[in-house]
Amino acid sequence: MNPLISLEYRKAFNDYLRRGVPIRLSLKAEDLGHQTTRYIWRTRGDPQVCPSHIENNGKLFAWDNPPETGHPGEGYGCRCTAEPYELGTSEYANQTISSDINDATPQWNTGKFLDYFRTGGGEAVTLSKTGNLAGLIFYFFYAALVIVLTRRLLTQRERRNSVISPMGSPGHISL
């Protein structure tokens, strides 16, 4: 639906201009042609991400019902993003490795990709054949592992009487 045609959206926009009343996010999503009113919270996955946003990472939220931290990117200096949620297509990262990774050696570099683009005859090539499958898998598994370990550490910190001490000493908490 075109936002210029929608009477409800035009009224909401006039209220915003005249009175400062925010336009409902669900109305924006519907009128701007977005097919989803929900999103998946995504962080950058680096050490600068604040703990509350790490907790939100990968979770599903509705635009009209924000989490306590607000929507991604709203906080000062927040670099988080909202990935549109579409049933059946947004679950791509929940995959299980069911076989060994047999990458070709050596791993293709940019030059090899360009050579194949020019001389490959348009034939499809797999990540395994290029030697890049393992790197891609481990990149995403590493990000997921960091999130899990950070969540565990935050849970440990929240416990009142927990003491994090060097390994092997009494009171050691293993992650």
Whose CA is closest to 52, among 85, 20, 75? 75
Contacts of 89 (CB under 8 A, 6+ apart): none
pLDDT at position 64 is: 78
pLDDT at position 145 is: 67
In the sheet that holds 81-84, the strands lie side by side as 60-62, 38-42, 81-84
- 27 with 67, same domain: the answer is no
pLDDT tens-place string over residues 59-84: 888 877 888 888 888 888 888 888 88
pLDDT tens-place string over residues 101-155: 777 778 888 888 888 888 877 788 888 888 888 777 777 776 666 666 677 777 7
Domain-embedded: residue 94: no
- 71 with 16, same domain: the answer is no
pLDDT at position 31 is: 52
pLDDT at position 104 is: 74
Domain-embedded: residue 17: yes
Number of folded domains that form the chain: 3
Domain-embedded: residue 95: no
> Which has more confidence, 64 or 95?
64
Q: Residue 60 is part of which domain span?
A: 39-88
Domain-embedded: residue 123: yes
Domain-embedded: residue 51: yes
Domain-embedded: residue 93: no
- 107 with 76, same domain: the answer is no
> Which has more confidence, 8 or 95?
8
Bridge partners of 40?
A: 60, 83
This prediction's pTM: 0.39
pLDDT tens-place string over residues 26-59: 555 555 544 567 888 888 888 888 888 888 888 8
> Which has more confidence, 90 or 130?
130
